[in-house]
Amino acid sequence: MTNSMAHSRARRNPASGRAPVRRVASGFAVLLLLIGALGFVPGVTSSYPDLRLAGPGSGARLLGLFQVSVLHNVVHLVLGVAGLALARTVAGARVFLLGAGAVYLVLWLHGLAIDRRTDANVLAVDRAGSWLHLVLGVAMLASGLLAGRRGHAR
């Protein structure tokens, strides 16, 4: 088989030709979907029988580290679905990265400001989760600002 025939049969990479900001937004969206879905998987989420709808009483821990509740998992899933929908355009991808990045920074600040043992902790966020929200927020905001500048209009 000649090289040109092998090349014509090769699968096209769906990411090739897409603006960097769209690829980055899609990557974060998939990550958020994964985080949200894994929060509902016994074994990946320890103390699964202790998973609660919301609030500080949820004893479930994603990867044994991050406290989660049904509401917390749903927030990640909703943001992931929104990210996939918005990543279809450059403008939408930037909106997703900047908007969701801002949401995660607000969640980080909320986690720092509240007494996590009270009903103010509606999402069931612990210290590890708060710091994860900071990392996600900063990474998404930076990606939206930097990749958006270099992104082209596809």
The total number of structural domains that make up the chain = 1
The DSSP call for residue 49 is G
36 Cβ contact partners less than 8 Å away, ≥ 6 residues apart: 73, 74, 75, 76, 77, 78, 80
The model's pLDDT over 28-66, given as tens digits with 9 standing for 90+, comes to 999 999 999 999 999 999 999 999 999 999 999 999 999
> Nearest CA to 78 among 55, 95, 102, 100?
100
How far apart (Å, rounded) are the C-alpha atoms in residues 104 and 115?
18
Q: Is residue 152 very low, low, confident or very high in pLDDT (cuts 50, 70, 90)?
A: very low
The model's pLDDT over 105-130, given as tens digits with 9 standing for 90+, comes to 999 999 999 999 999 999 899 999 99
Whether 114 is covered by a domain: the verdict is: yes
Quick one: pLDDT at residue 115? 92
Whether 7 is covered by a domain: the verdict is: no
The mean predicted confidence, pLDDT, of the chain is 88
What pTM did the predictor assign? 0.83
Range of the domain at 46: 19-150
| pLDDT over 60 (residue 143) | yes
Whether 5 is covered by a domain: the verdict is: no
Quick one: pLDDT at residue 10? 52
Quick one: pLDDT at residue 121? 92
| pLDDT over 80 (residue 27) | yes
